[in-house]
């Protein structure tokens, strides 16, 4: 991890509400899906911030907001200190270059009718001037080599590659414009166990080589721990706990984090009879109508009256173990041993 | 220690189990060629026991399960050899009407994708009730009452009010419960669960696994759990069958397998799990890719990726060696693998 002063990405009170409409002829807005509802964090140069949480909690929406693929309802995204929403023209283009994304599904995220060379080289078309036309083929071949693909396969089509290789093509494309930040939204979830490790190692070595900052979204908590310097836990559009990986995994203080960690099966049968597990009831409530006060209170075993009345802010608390936790009764505890 | 060829009775099956699959072979005839999707699968499960079938996608786990259930698409599928004995009777030799009785009452199955396994145009209660109308000849009213009972049993909140709701009105976890309700309706002796939690969040996965364990305790079902999740397996399995390229490469009790794997593929999978004491270091990664069924390596299917490979591996298909009573490994060099000296 680099010196903490070098912040490349600042996110402040970011909100995205999707309108919930009714009626066919005259669409009336009857509410809003609060997909991301007030998220703030910093990302440092060369650092990996992992983001975990159940599906629907807003991880992908957050990723799209950071990529400026969605317009925020309110809040700010600053790249190297500059507001992405206020940027126009060449400045916006330059800022966009600086943040790239690797997606989950290597099967649908690549255009089947384009060659690998066209896919990886496409960013050069969009951002003319990064690589002169004559150099592009060579640049693409270099990128293929960097991600461990055969540069001679530049004229092949996506279907001629395996899932793991396609993910490498996506990564090569993400690297083309030499970004400082890469957002990985479930980059290994669709891959087989034996291939996951290969792609994780690739992401790791690229980070070291190019001093990249990663936002790493995944539902496999042990994969997130392996790659992340810090981890943020999301629930219904909000961050409920954030800290160094050891803060979150060994000293979680928010009941939701504790439940999430305790649900992860441990890949070791020794002593399994003695393991205790917090099993949450039901599913998360709808983000269109989140509970008042603490959003987790409908599933929380520690909930008191105050939890319905007052929203717990994400802050360091007396017993939260030196890292911020959005729980009135935060108390860090080593609940489980997720690797 | 004896070497037994896969053609004969081989390592890993105790005689006389409730359900025994022996040397099953299934092919798909496609335009691109013949794919031997299942190429010698041997495993068994007893009442009250949980067998985990572990393997990456395309290794033949689902095709084996579909063949056991008698729901394989023929053609393009073709059963080329082997036996599937349920209470000692080879299901592959039964006439279709007797086979149908086994399905649901003897052996039932749940799938990864509950949404596409349920019929979108009928209420869920109606679909559960149909099991009782068709197999037990119950009246509509009685069958509906049973459906509500079952929805209660799989802990669907307010079952009575939700019996007329349609599949899309339920969350992924609740739909999986509905599928479980349908599968246990006729009190099967064996339940095959094909990646039942792969599409679910860990929190919901924990709920579903707890439900399955509880139902199994109550009814003493044999459970075949198909998965690629090494955590889930460690949590619930009594024994494990590891598949690779259409074959069983290792059969072992859960403790033996995690403590001391006897096949290089199993060993590689276990080593590639991220561990906290290895944070910051490169993960162990099995090199290369899973095999292409239309272009299988000669000899051992794992040989292009194997750190233990020797000449023999490229020429001779390793049989499923019996290591001890119920332990088997389809590796020529299983002794070296157990001792841990890679080449
Ligand atoms: N374009 C959209 N329009 C309306 N609702 C959306 C849209 N995209 C996402 N949502 C909703 O926002 C919530 C968060 O979704 P998402 O960010 O995809 O979550 P995650 O990636 O954590 O699973 C969900 O309830 C989802 O249905
Ligand atoms: N209907 C089918 N036609 C052709 N090939 C099939 C069919 N069903 C499965 N296969 C092939 O059989 C192999 C094993 O598939 P499957 O049993 O589904 O794997 P797993 O469940 O282990 O992921 C795969 O290579 C798959 O492509
Ligand atoms: S604030 Fe209250 S409801 Fe929310 S997590 Fe803490 S104890 Fe539970
Ligand atoms: S038979 Fe040879 S190639 Fe196959 S797993 Fe054993 S050592 Fe490896
Ligand atoms: Mg997502
Ligand atoms: Mg399958």
Q: Which residue's CA is the nearest one to ligand 3's atom 5?
A: A327
Residues in chain B within 8 Å Cβ distance of A262: 206
Residue B74, both tokens? 């023929």
Tokens 């159940």 correspond to what residue? A54
Residue A264 CA to ligand 5 centre (angstroms): 19
Is residue A293 classed exposed, middle or buried when 0-12, 13-18 and 19+ CB atoms within 10 A define those classes? middle
Predicted pLDDT at A5: 62
B273, A339 contact by CB (below 8 A): yes
Tokens 């792969």 correspond to what residue? B198
Query: Does the N-terminal peptide bond of residue B255 adopt cis geometry, omega within 30 degrees of 0?
Result: no
Whether the predicted pLDDT of B230 surpasses 70: yes
- Flag whether A332 is in a domain: no
Percent of chain B with pLDDT over 90: 76
What Cα–Cα distance (Å) separates residue B298 from each residue in A263, B292, B316?
42, 12, 8
Find all residues with CB under 8 Å of B308, minimum gap 6, and list them. B264, B331, B333, B336, B337, B342, B343
Give the model confidence (pLDDT) of B240-259 as tens digits: 999 999 999 999 999 999 99
Predicted pLDDT at B15: 53
Domain around A163: 45-71+82-228
Residue B221, both tokens? 């079902």
**Confidence (pTM):** 0.91
From the CA of B170, how many Å to the nearest CA of chain A?
10
Q: Which residue's CA is the nearest one to ligand 2's atom 14?
A: B60
Residues in chain B within 8 Å Cβ distance of A271: none
- Flag whether A155 is in a domain: yes
CATH code at position A144: 3.40.50.300
Residues in chain A within 8 Å Cβ distance of B210: 279
Judged by a CB distance cut-off of 8 A, whether residue B232 touches chain A is yes
- Flag whether A320 is in a domain: no
- Flag whether A22 is in a domain: no
What Cα–Cα distance (Å) separates residue A270 from each residue in A297, B257, B259?
34, 11, 9
Residue B83 CA to ligand 4 centre (angstroms): 26
- Flag whether A25 is in a domain: no
> Is A21 a pocket residue for ligand 1 (Cβ < 6 Å)?
no
Cβ atoms within 10 Å of B177's Cβ, excluding its own? 24
Cβ atoms within 10 Å of A108's Cβ, excluding its own? 12
Residues in chain A within 8 Å Cβ distance of B272: 193-194, 196-197
Q: Which atom of ligand 3 is nearest to the CA of A304?
A: 2
**How many domains is chain A built from?**
1
What Cα–Cα distance (Å) separates residue B237 from each residue in A124, B103, B256, B262?
51, 24, 12, 17
> Bridge-partner residues for A241, per DSSP?
A233, A325
Q: Which atom of ligand 2 is nearest to the CA of B243?
A: 22
Residue A50, both tokens? 């992992």
Give the model confidence (pLDDT) of B167-185 as tens digits: 999 988 899 999 999 999 9
* CA–CA dist A221, A231 (Å, integer): 10
Give the model confidence (pLDDT) of B74-114 as tens digits: 889 999 999 999 999 999 999 999 998 899 899 999 988 88
Tokens 């399995």 correspond to what residue? B237
Tens place of pLDDT per residue across chain A (339 aa)? 444 569 999 999 999 999 988 777 777 778 899 999 999 999 999 999 999 999 999 999 999 999 888 999 999 999 999 998 888 888 888 888 899 988 877 667 788 899 999 999 988 888 877 778 888 888 899 889 888 888 899 999 988 888 888 888 988 898 888 899 999 998 888 788 888 888 899 899 889 999 999 999 998 899 999 999 999 999 999 999 999 999 999 999 999 999 999 999 999 999 898 888 888 987 889 999 999 999 999 999 999 999 999 999 999 999 998 999 999 999 988 776 555
Predicted pLDDT at A88: 85
> Is A61 a pocket residue for ligand 1 (Cβ < 6 Å)?
yes
- Ligand nearest the Cα atom of residue A57: 1
Predicted pLDDT at B11: 39
- Flag whether A113 is in a domain: yes
Residues in chain A within 8 Å Cβ distance of B254: 269
Whether the predicted pLDDT of B314 surpasses 50: yes
Judged by a CB distance cut-off of 8 A, whether residue B203 touches chain A is yes
Mutate to test the interface with B, among A267, A272, A299 (most CBs of B within 10 A): A267
Among A146, A135, A120, A131, which residue's Cα sits nearest to residue A206? A146
**B positions 130-149 inside 8 Å of A (CB):** none
> Bridge-partner residues for A100, per DSSP?
A182
Range scoring the smallest mean pLDDT among B124-128, B220-224, B281-285, B296-300: B281-285
Residue B227 CA to ligand 2 centre (angstroms): 15
Is residue A68 classed exposed, middle or buried when 0-12, 13-18 and 19+ CB atoms within 10 A define those classes? middle
Per the prediction, chain B carries an average pLDDT of 91
Predicted pLDDT at B192: 97
Q: Which residue's CA is the nearest one to ligand 3's atom 6?
A: A327
- In B, minimum Cα distance to A205 occurs at B282
Contact A197 B286 (CB under 8 A): yes
- Flag whether A209 is in a domain: yes
- Flag whether A271 is in a domain: no
Contact B229 A265 (CB under 8 A): yes
The predicted complex's ipTM stands at: 0.87
Predicted pLDDT at A17: 97
Whether the predicted pLDDT of B163 surpasses 80: yes
């Amino acid at each position: 991890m680099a010196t903490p002063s070098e912040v490349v990405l600042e996110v402040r009170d970011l909100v995205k509400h999707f309108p919930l409409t009714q009626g066919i002829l005259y669409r009336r807005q009857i509410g809003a899906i609060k997909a991301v509802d007030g998220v703030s964090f910093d990302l440092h140069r060369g650092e990996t911030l992992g983001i975990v949480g159940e599906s629907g909690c807003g991880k992908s929406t957050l990723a799209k907001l950071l990529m400026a693929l969605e317009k925020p309802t309110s809040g700010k995204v600053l790249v190297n200190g500059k507001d992405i929403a206020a940027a126009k023209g060449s400045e916006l283009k330059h800022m966009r270059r600086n943040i790239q994304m690797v997606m989950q599904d290597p099967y649908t995220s690549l255009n089947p009718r384009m060659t690998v060379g066209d896919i990886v080289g496409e960013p050069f078309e969009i951002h003319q001037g990064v690589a002169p036309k004559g150099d592009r083929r060579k640049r693409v071949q270099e990128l293929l080599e960097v991600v461990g693909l055969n540069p001679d396969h530049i004229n092949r089509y996506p279907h001629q590659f395996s899932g793991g290789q396609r993910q490498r093509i996506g990564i090569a494309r993400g690297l083309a414009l030499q970004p400082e930040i890469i957002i990985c939204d479930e980059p290994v979830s669709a891959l087989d166990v034996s291939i996951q490790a290969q792609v994780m190692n690739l992401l790791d070595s690229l980070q070291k080589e190019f001093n990249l900052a990663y936002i790493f979204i995944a539902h496999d908590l042990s994969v997130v721990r392996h790659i992340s310097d810090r981890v943020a836990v999301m629930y219904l559009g909000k961050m409920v706990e954030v800290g160094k990986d050891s803060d979150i995994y060994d000293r979680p203080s928010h009941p939701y984090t504790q439940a999430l960690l305790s649900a992860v099966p441990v890949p070791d049968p020794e002593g399994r009879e003695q393991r205790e597990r917090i099993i949450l009831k039901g599913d998360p409530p709808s983000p269109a109508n989140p509970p008042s006060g603490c959003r987790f209170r409908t599933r929380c075993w520690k909930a008191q009256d105050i939890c319905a009345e007052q929203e717990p802010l994400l802050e360091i608390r007396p017993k939260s173990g030196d890292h911020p936790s959005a729980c009135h009764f935060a108390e860090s505890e080593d609940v489980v041993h997720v690797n | 220690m004896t070497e037994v060829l896969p053609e004969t009775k081989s390592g890993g099956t105790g005689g006389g189990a409730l359900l025994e699959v022996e040397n099953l072979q299934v092919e798909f005839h496609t335009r691109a060629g013949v794919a031997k999707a299942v190429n010698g699968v041997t495993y068994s499960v007893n009442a009250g026991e949980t067998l985990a079938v572990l393997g990456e996608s395309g290794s033949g786990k689902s095709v084996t399960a579909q063949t056991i259930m008698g729901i394989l698409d023929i053609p393009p599928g073709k059963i080329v050899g082997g036996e599937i004995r349920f209470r000692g009777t080879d299901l592959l030799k039964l006439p279709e009407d007797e086979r149908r009785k086994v399905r649901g009452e003897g052996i039932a199955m749940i799938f990864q994708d509950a949404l596409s396994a349920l019929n979108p145009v009928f209420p869920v209660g109606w679909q559960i009730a149909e099991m009782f109308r068709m197999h037990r000849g119950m009246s509509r009213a009685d069958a509906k009452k049973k459906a509500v009972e079952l929805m209660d049993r799989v802990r669907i909140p307010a079952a009575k009010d939700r019996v007329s709701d349609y599949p899309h009105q339920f969350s992924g976890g609740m739909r999986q419960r509905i599928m479980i309700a349908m599968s246990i309706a006729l009190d099967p002796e064996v339940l095959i669960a094909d990646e039942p939690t792969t599409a679910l969040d860990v929190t919901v996965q924990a709920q579903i696994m707890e439900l399955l364990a509880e139902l199994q305790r109550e009814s003493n079902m044999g459970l075949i759990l198909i998965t690629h999740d090494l955590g889930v397996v460690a949590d619930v399995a009594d024994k494990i069958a590891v598949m690779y390229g259409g074959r069983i490469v290792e059969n072992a009790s859960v403790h033996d397998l995690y403590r001391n794997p006897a096949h290089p593929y199993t060993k590689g999978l276990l080593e590639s799990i991220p561990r906290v004491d290895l944070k910051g270091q490169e993960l162990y990664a099995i090199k290369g890719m899973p095999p292409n069924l239309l272009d299988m390596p000669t000899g051992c299917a794992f040989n292009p990726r194997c750190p233990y490979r020797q000449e023999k591996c490229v020429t001779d298909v390793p049989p499923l060696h019996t290591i001890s009573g119920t332990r088997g490994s389809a590796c020529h060099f299983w002794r070296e693998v157990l001792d841990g000296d890679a080449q």
